[in-house]
Structure 1
């Protein structure tokens, strides 16, 4: 698709309960424009909550529709009675009774779009439940194999078991990916199932009938939509609104493309997603200056600057990490730069034409609290590198 992407749209504000008000997922195993998933099975309860929410919305919708159906039937009954008084025509009365729609017919006939969405949601319930069971089974297998590996001494047995673990982990990654896709889509769909006051399929009192959006409109933002991530961002920045300015999968992975969307703006959250499911990034509160004509440019001193790890190889809790010296923070590159896209001083460097890397002097410049040191983000440091899945730039506001 070479078409220029539409300008980023504002996202609704974040409610006062310290959760950002948006849809959908991830703590990553794989991204398909849908969101993030916890690779180790911690999202099972999250899905149960999701299914409960879907069912609650369906019940609310059915309750509202039942009321409207009763009202509709009452109106028709009055018409029948009136016709009976006026004409005393029993055959016509019976004919009208037989032609009255049942509640089920009314539900589906008055709003076919709503009926379609509800049917899809019901089928997705069983799919999500099956994925939960499958994920739990594979996770248990991986854990058992890992424990067995500790007791083996033969190199060949260890190697064989290692291959089994890797195979099951890949399978788990695929299951998690499918889970995230379904979960994200179901959240979007469930938002459409809202009770509406209708008569004969038409909105009353000037209300606009909810229209099912296109697939493009239903696209769910990755990572930033996950409740756990939202809460942490609110906790770390005290900002409750966001707007996605840049997304590499849509806007192109280049310094020019990123600069065009973040330069001149402040309160920029950078989100890095790797192909192995790790999520980390940085936050810069000061205004990003224009890009240099040549080479690179360090963004100035920023007292509110920090980097973070949301999902890492060690499965720690999300971490906010402060720089020992805040005189330098982000590094931007000239628009002509063909390799580097953006850098975070002594923390990570994102490149477009080769793998990205974490420098080996990270711990010398940051107060890393977990004790994992330079390996925290991706379990490797330069000259070893990591593969990028997606890069996002998000503008936060109060």
Structure 2
């Protein structure tokens, strides 16, 4: 029979071993928990890396901010059709009523002795129309009634925006008279076309009531501004350009 002392020693040894086993089990449990957490973190990291790699391989499309087209002159949106009508590519503004003044004197000195002159008129309501001459504009007169340019076979009028829905070229039935050039001392009238439009220096501009009589096409005297003489319209701006 083992002595009492040996029994106590064995009991203590067993208890100690039990404590050690319990401690080892606890440590193993902690290690296992940490391993599981590390595996989870690793999987999350792999997913993140894979996502970054996929995004990096995608084609980067540059973002282009669209800017509004800013035009300097009201006729610029219609340049392509004006080029087609004139069979010219280059144009230069030689007169602008806003900068030069709405007078016969200023427009005369801007266009005289020049060929391929286009007159563009914009009303206060936004209608845009005008005329085109290929022959040289004679030197203006200092006084008197003025004159019409004669026998310009390529003369035409046009409407870009107004009572006619689409931009329209308007040819003349006869080729006798075209652009009206007033004398330099005329303080009432600025520029005009034969039985077409007449631009006044004040609120007296009008469209001739004989427009349909002298011009071709499906037009009326109201086609340009929606009215005709004796009704008048206000001018917002007149521009003269030379084509080359």
Does the TM-score normalized on the shorter chain lie above 0.5? yes
Bigger helix fraction: 1
Query: What are structure 2's unaligned runs of at least 5 residues?
Result: 1-61
User: 2:84 — aligned with what?
Assistant: 235
Deviation at 1:323, TM superposition (A): 0.4
C-alpha deviation, 1:240, in angstroms: 0.2
Shift of 1:353: 2.2
Out of 67, 73, 76, the residue aligned to residue 222 of structure 1 is: 73
Aligned residue among 222, 241, 244 for 1:394: 241
1:246 is matched with which residue: 63, 81, 95? Answer: 95
Separation in structure 1 between the aligned mates of residue 91 and residue 204 of structure 2, nearest angstrom: 29
Gaps of 5+ in 1: 1-55, 60-121, 129-181, 185-219
Answer 1 or 2: which has greater strand percent.
2
Residue aligning to 2:159: 309
Distance in 1, matches of 2:214 and 2:76, equals 31
SS of corresponding position for 1:269: strand
Length, aligned pairs only: 183
Rg larger in 1 or in 2?
2
Give deviations 1:57-99, integer Å, cap 9, x for gaps: x85xxxxxxxxxxxxxxxxxxxxxxxxxxxxxxxxxxxxxxxx
Give CA-to-partner distance per residue, 1:18-74, whole Å, 9 cap, x none. xxxxxxxxxxxxxxxxxxxxxxxxxxxxxxxxxxxxxx8x85xxxxxxxxxxxxxxx
Cross-structure match for 1:296: 146
Spell out the pairing of 1:1-398 with structure 2 (5 A cutoff): 183-184=69-70, 220-226=71-77, 229-292=78-141, 293-314=143-164, 316-369=165-218, 372-397=219-244
Asked if structure 1 preserves the Cα contact closer than 8 Å seen for 2:109 and 2:140, the reply is no
Q: TM-score, normalised by structure 2?
A: 0.71
Kindly provide the CA deviation profile for residues 171-208 of structure 1, in whole angstroms up to 9, marking residues without a partner as x: xxxxxxxxxxx641xxxxxxxxxxxxxxxxxxxxxxxx
